Structure 1
């Protein structure tokens, strides 16, 4: 009971802060926050989930309570990534995951959905299955084919075994071999791009985090010299960054001079 009270109190305090930030920024700007800083906005979803869980608990809908709580806990742990962003050790890695998910994996899912729907409908027609349940069964079989788990006898024993096996081979070639390897190649390119400009992207995300924190401050707190993280150059604000050369870079520079 104590743990539930602490979680609920934290959700109330954080939810109030998010509502204040939403009012100051505007709902559209709050939702359309660019970059991986959107992870900070997961807090509002987490708080909303906690409130919904409490409502379901009061109404004694335990089945739906467990369902909502499961997704809420996942969102809550996803919010932890926001606190790993400012660190050089983990920040670029989080950026890499973000770019892979919302660029590479998203494009893969869109293309794969088209192929999945096409092959599923083809198998649905060949096996003469009836109703929406039959179509869902075809989708399930095609998805299992993506994972390499398919029953060859299921396709051979159909009304058109030759056509079914031919379509199955085409499905394996296009989905399992072509698209999956294409996804791996795209992820490799993303990894190389992020690694090449990891420092710049990390500083950019730190600037976004600083701006996000500033949006939650009052006017007096923003004007305080203690909280000043930027310099004014010709009327424009620039993030102050202290760059420290590590031992590895010094060793590399020394070797280059010796050569």
Structure 2
């Protein structure tokens, strides 16, 4: 209800633009929706065990999304605020571009491996093989080939290579090994190092801004003021700000800094 009143007061487009800058806040709102959906699932548990599983999923995801809300308040802390911003920036820019390129390459190689293993299976079926070992196709469907290819990107390729090496058709096995070599060079080595380089560049760019936590602190304050009424917002503004010059309507935020006189005496 509070969010609905905020949308009516400041407008839907402005409300969306404000929340786009705070992903942790969006996840927190989604956790509310999941908790509300879990309530009717609890009452429907008596009609079947499937509703119990649905409720468990909703509650589990809501807990994870709720804990992400701590990142919203950590942005204003000096020692952890820049790192929270780094996480957001890396996910929004570097990781998104990497995933796009990664999906394109992985889908292409997975279907290539599917065609290679299908040819090996045909050779096994037709009896056109030089060994008596029973060969099993571990990529019998296009979906399974995508999953197997993804597993290879995290370092588990022994089962794949063992099955490829035992292919009944030696020519197809030789072609598959060549494709596998190119895949390892393009994905496991080149792209992962490219991702590390992009994240390092983002880290260095943000770490150089020493006063970034102050900027995040101000954004958190402005975000919290969105949920306040205009009268309350003006009241708090008058409390933490001081007049600038003779015009009482011009106000600013004053920061008092303690100076050690002994350093000047020395």
TM over 0.5: yes
In structure 2, the partner of 1:242 is: 255
1:41 to partner: Cα distance: 2.8
Matched residue, 1:78:
68
* Shift in Å, 1:242: 2.9
Deviations 1:69-128 (A, max 9, x none): 111111111111112122112211111111111111111111100001110111111112
Aligned partners of 2:107 and 2:146 also within 8 Å? yes
Q: Which position in structure 2 is the counterpart of 1:140?
A: 147
- Where structure 1 has 5 or more consecutive residues not aligned to the other structure, the ranges are 1-15, 255-259
Change (3 A) 1:156 1:37: same
Choose between structure 1 and 2: higher helix proportion.
1
1:149 aligns with 2:139: no
- 1:183-222 to structure 2, matched below 5 A, reads 183-199=195-211, 201-222=212-233
Q: Does 1:53 align with 2:43?
A: no
Report what 2:133 is aligned to.
Answer: none
> Larger Rg: 1 or 2?
2
Are 2:114 and 2:140, in contact at CA under 8 Å, matched by a contact in 1?
A: no
- Provide the TM-score with structure 1 as the length reference: 0.78
Offset from partner CA, 1:205-247 (integer Å, 9 cap, x none): 222222211111112112215565567889x999736375899
1-structure distance, mates of 2:155, 2:237: 58
What RMSD over aligned residues (CA atoms) do the two structures have, in Å? 3.1
**Which stretches in structure 2 are left out of the alignment for 5+ residues?**
46-50, 122-136
Q: Find 2:57's aligned residue among 62, 67, 91.
A: 67
1-structure distance, mates of 2:2, 2:178: 58
